[in-house]
Amino acid sequence: MILFPAIDLKGGQCVRLKLGDMQQATVYNTDPAAQARSFEDQGFEWLHVVDLDGAFAGHSANGDAVEAILKATDNPVQLGGGIRTLDHIEAWLSRGLRRVILGTVAVRNPALVIEACRKFPDRVAVGIDAKGGKVAVEGWAEASELGIIELARKFEGAGVAAIIYTDIDRDGILAGINWSSTLELADAISIPVIASGGLASLDDIRRMLEPDARKLEGAISGRALYDGRIDPKEALALIKAARAKETA
């Protein structure tokens, strides 16, 4: 079980959005590289990065900030937002990313995702962002008619490293993870699922460690970490204790 701290990039700064609205952005750090170092120093093992401008523009828009993050941390980094072609995927992976996250292109061109998984085994994740139970695309600005499980099942057996499932209706408002929808998805597919959107407190961490949620790869935390609602030391201690219990 992994707790992924999030760095969302807008205009080269580390921000958090409310309900996926670019007009409701709170700046938490003007130096994303320093934020990445801080997360590593706190004991986190991974880093989740989203190029928000890139998600809306359809191409990478915070490349300098991402490269600075990669130089600043030894932790593996997964990046989403505006990655839409095989060339984009290869370019980012060659710069040191552990995983790319494909969202809009997974809806528009699932064959590209499958090809990317073949070329780059275990280094491609799919981001499924849902609003009102339907998959959203183009930086959450557009809704599709696809259901969450319907889209995820397109990639069964393709070698997708993980599905990152975000409930946009809970994102950035500390409403708690949508556990019912997240676990329903995890039960429906064999691909590991990472929960995102709304993680609010240590209660969510404890819920993530319950037996029925152990199938998840982990969860992503943003605002709750930045606002101090989750103490990193306590959260990581809970996860470490759960891991020790599993291996005992």
Q: Which of 66-70, 146-150, 170-174, 214-218 has the lowest mean pLDDT?
A: 170-174
Which of 129, 167, 171, 204 does the annotation list as catalytic? 129
Higher pLDDT, 125 or 215: 125
**C-alpha span between 127 and 2 (Å, rounded):** 17
**CA pseudo-torsion sign 215, 82, 79, 114:** positive
Q: Is 122 a catalytic residue?
A: no
What pLDDT was estimated at residue 116?
97
Report the pLDDT averaged over residues 174-199: 89
104 or 186: which leads in pLDDT: 186
Average pLDDT of the residues in 7-11: 94
Q: How far is residue 18's CA from residue 11's CA, in Å, rounded to a whole number?
A: 17
The active-site residue, picked from 8, 51, 171, 204, is 8
d(CA 118, CA 186): 23
Looking at residue 200, its pLDDT comes to 87
From the number of C-beta atoms within 10 Å of its C-beta (0-12, 13-18, 19+), residue 49 rates as: buried
Task: Please give the average per-residue pLDDT across 26-51, as a whole number.
Answer: 96
Residue 212: how many other CB atoms lie within 10 Å: 11
- Considering only residues 30 and 146, tell me which one the structure prediction assigns the higher pLDDT: 30
Stretch among 150-154, 163-167, 175-179, 242-246 having the lowest mean pLDDT = 175-179
Phi, psi of 81 (to 5 degrees): 115, 100
Q: Given pLDDT bands bounded at 50, 70 and 90, which one contains residue 139?
A: very low
**What percent of the chain clears pLDDT 90, i.e. is strictly above it?**
68
- Model confidence at 34: pLDDT above 80: yes
> Of 82, 73, 79, which is closest to residue 93 (Cα–Cα)?
79
- Per-residue model confidence (pLDDT) at position 164: 96
The whole-number pLDDT of residue 145 equals: 64
The H-assigned helical ranges of the chain are: 32-41, 52-57, 63-72, 86-94, 104-108, 110-119, 148-153, 179-188, 202-208, 223-226, 232-247
In the predicted structure, residue 64 carries a pLDDT above the cut 90: yes
155: region left, alpha or beta (phi > 0 left; psi from -120 to 50 alpha): alpha
Banded model confidence at residue 169, pLDDT cuts 50, 70, 90: low
> Which pLDDT does position 59 carry in this prediction?
84
Question: What residues contact 14, with CB distance under 8 A and at least 6 apart?
Answer: 7, 8, 27, 28, 29, 30, 31, 32, 35
Average pLDDT score, the chain = 89
Q: Tell me the mean pLDDT in the region 206-224.
A: 93
pLDDT at 140 over 50: no
Q: Which residues pair with 111 in a beta bridge?
A: none
Q: Is 31 a catalytic residue?
A: no
Average pLDDT (71-84) is: 96
How far apart, in whole angstroms, are the C-alpha atoms of residue 171 and residue 198? 5
The CA radius of gyration of the chain, in Å to the nearest whole number, is: 16
pLDDT of residue 137: 66
Q: What single-letter DSSP state applies at residue 209?
A: T
Examine the pLDDT at 141 and tell me if it is beyond 80. no
